Amino acid sequence: MILKRGVKIQLIAFALITVIGVTVVSVNYIGFGRKTFGRQYTAFVDLTDSGGVFTNAEVTYRGVPVGRVGPIRLTESGIKVELTLDRGQRIPREGTKAVVANRSAVGEQYIDLQPARRTGPYLDQGAAYTIPRELTTLPVSTAELLRNVDRLVSSVDPKNLGTIVDELDKAFSGSAADLQSILDDTDRLLKTADQAYPDTKKLLDNSVTVLDTQRAQGANILGFSRNLNELTTQLRKDDPALRRTIEATPGAVVQADKTIEDLAPTLPVLLANMTTTGQIIASHKAGLRSLLIMYPMTVAGAFTVTPGDGTQHLGLALNFDSPPPCTKGYEKVKHRWPQDTGRKAPRLDVGCTDSPGSPSAVRGARNFPKQDLSPVPKVPAGATDGAGFPAGGASGNAAGAPKAESGKGGKPAAKGAGERSGSGDAALAANNSLYVPFSSESVEIAGYDPSTGTVYGPDGKRYGMGANGGQQRILGDSSWKMLLLGPLSQ
């Protein structure tokens, strides 16, 4: 029988399709040739018992199939299971556990690989790796499970079991609605927890940072706790003294309040007046500094003159050419001999040009102190409000205001005895041209100008403080202020 050409072509095509299909099924499903093509690699698991696992059982990684169980061989202390794994899934090598599990109560066993890390090295790198026995878990055998259930059931007395069933019936009888409500509420709670899962996860992640910080600050927290314990212990010991202090505090507050009340009429005025004193001191701080430096030296030198033996020790030092005269700057000046006693106009266009640190002419014009051009310290607005003389005199009592002096028999004294004008003012005006007569009941001292040595009142007028007597008659109880302002106004 001769086959036609078309039939031969069809038979050849069918044979090729059959071979290709069988090859694909054998490689992909049966596993023939996978190792030859490099699509699989081998790992091992060391077990004490098979746990029901068998050759060609499934191997999963995080529940995803990644291979099959290969041959199982006996060892001296257990068995060694070969795993044929597919490439593509990078399974970490270090810390990975092999768990023999059941798919159901009566299902077949399989091996599940559970990693402890995400980074390498991996099982497909290097030589075949064996998962150690301490990282494996076997399921409870069916026989052991049945034995445990039998022991549990045998341990319960049937009479007691009947009592338990009756009591459970009584407990749940008629509570179906409540149980349904509990279940519904539990369902809502679970839904709410599911919605809040992202925030809960963030809270848990951030709590790690908080706990790490507390662990890092553990030494400081312990130190703070110890110090707090010592503080509370000391407070406990000093409790009687603290109680006495607290009991005495109200009386001290009352006394302080009375003191402030007594000082209320005059203390603000004094503080306002001290503002002017502060301006004067701040404006002359350079001179005060020099005074404080030279005063101890002057006092120490005074004791050499009066050593305490009843006599004064004085001496005369002839220091010719000490210091030497200054000649620099006088090169073009014609020398004048001592015998020439005629009148001659002095030259004002020459002077010593030596450096200030030169020992010559130490008292010359080049060493003359430069004028302090620093601005007068300013005070905030209202700082001198109320300055001047307190109402009612130094005591601050209006009833103690100065009254007109009276002579014998209650008659007014003669003019000039208690009057704050007239000849007294004229005498002060004659002694000091800058003096302006004023009354202690109307003038307030509000500022001091160190460049002119005068005082300016809050009304903008200029006042000169006299220094040649008469202050008591003019200023009354406030005349002590001239001890500070008088010398500085000259």
Residue-by-residue DSSP string for 157-206: -HHHHHHHHHHHHHHHTT-HHHHHHHHHHHHHHHHHHHHTHHHHHHHHHH
Q: What is the pLDDT of residue 442?
A: 44
**How many CA atoms, within 13 angstroms, populate the side-chain half-sphere of residue 152?**
6
Distance of CA 212 to the CA centre of its chain: 21
The pLDDT tens digits of the residues spanning 325-366 come to 888 888 888 888 888 888 888 888 888 888 877 888 777 777
Cα–Cα distance, 377 to 453 (Å, whole number): 15
pLDDT of amino acid 398: 47
Asked if 402 and 413 touch (Cβ cutoff 8 Å), the reply is no
Is the CB of residue 485 less than 8 Å from the CB of residue 455? yes
Residues of the chain with pLDDT under 50: 396, 398-446, 466-470, 488-490
Output the pLDDT for position 430.
37
**b/e map of 416-439 (b: 16 or more CB within 10 Å)?**
eeebbeeebbebbbeebebbbbbe
| pLDDT at res. 415 | 38
Residue 268: per-residue pLDDT: 77
Helices 197-216, 176-195: axis angle to 10 degrees equals 70
pLDDT attached to residue 421: 36
Residue 113 and residue 65: Cα distance in Å, rounded?
Answer: 10
Q: Are 265 and 391 in contact (CB under 8 A)?
A: yes
Taking the C-alpha atoms of residue 413 and residue 52, their distance in angstroms, rounded to an integer, is: 135
Where b means 16+ CB within 10 Å and e means fewer, 46-62 reads bbeebbbbeeebbbbbe
432: its two tokens: 């000091």
Distance CA 424, CA 437 (A): 10
Residue by residue, DSSP assigns 334-355 as PP--TT--S--PPPSS----S-
Could you read off the pLDDT of 261-309 as tens digits, one per residue?
A: 888 777 777 888 888 888 888 888 888 888 888 888 888 888 888 877 8
